[in-house]
Structure 1
Amino acid sequence: MITVSLHGAEFFAYHGFYPEEQLLGNKFIIDIYVDFETDADLSADELSDTVNYEQLYNIAKEEMAKTAKLLETVAHNITKRIRDEHPYLLSIRVALKKLNPPLQGRVAHSAVTITV
């Protein structure tokens, strides 16, 4: 089994349930993990024998550009896009964190994780 992952991909986006959040925007962090098996000869050193994490980043970037009320919706859409483009993956995990969510007290981040 091979796991390819991205950690701490940062985005500024306009996700949030409240209108102010969609107007002001916020910083978000995404972690993505994908698992797969391969029969490829990895000593061949070919990108086509693995999952290109640049593609994972680009999927996240495109989905983060689409405003949504719920973090669950954004994480689901990222997961679905990854699955659609890489149907051979055994599992996909997307963790989406909203930094400093607008609450009455100091909170480092809120988060949603989807695993399929």
Structure 2
Amino acid sequence: MIKVSLHGAEFFALHGFYPEEQLLGNKFILDIDVEFHTGADLTGDHIADTVNYEQLYIIAAEEMRHTRKLLEAVAQSIADRIRVDHPYVDRIKVELKKLNPPLPGRVAYSSVTVTNDK
């Protein structure tokens, strides 16, 4: 089993349930883990034999541009796109953190995690 991860990817986006959140925006941190089996000889040193984390970032960046009310919807859309582009992946885990969510007290972040198993 191979695990490829992208952790701490930072985005500014307009996700949020309240209209003010969709107007003002917020900072988000994204973590993605994908696990898969490969029959390839990884000593061959070919990027085609693995999941390119640059592609994971591009998928995430494209999906983060689509404003949604729920973080769950954003995380699911990222997982769904990864599944379409990499159908051989056994497990996809997407964690999306919203920094300083608009709550009455100090909260570092809120988060959702979507796990997609084959």
Shared fold, TM over 0.5: yes
**Partner of residue 26, structure 1:** 26
Give the C-alpha shift of residue 39 in structure 1: 1.1
Residues in 1 aligned to 2:41 and 2:72: alpha-carbon distance in whole angstroms: 37
- Please list the CA deviations of residues 64-104 of structure 1 after superposition, one character each: whole Å capped at 9, or x if unmatched: 00000000000010000000110000000000000000000
Q: How many residues align?
A: 116
Q: Which residue does the alignment assign to 1:50?
A: 50
Identity %: 71
Structure 2: runs of 5 or more not aligned: none
Deviations 1:12-51 (A, max 9, x none): 0000000000000000000000000011111110000100
- Map 1:43-82 to 2 at 5 A: 43-82=43-82
Spell out structure 1 runs of 4+ moving beyond 6 A: none
TM-score, normalisation: structure 1: 0.99
1:91 matched to which residue of 2? 91
1: CA distance, partners of 2:44 / 2:33:
23
The separation in 2 between residues aligned to 1:87 and 1:42, in whole angstroms, is 19
Query: In the alignment, what sits opposite 1:109?
Result: 109
Aligned equivalents of 1:64, 1:38: Cα separation in 2: 29
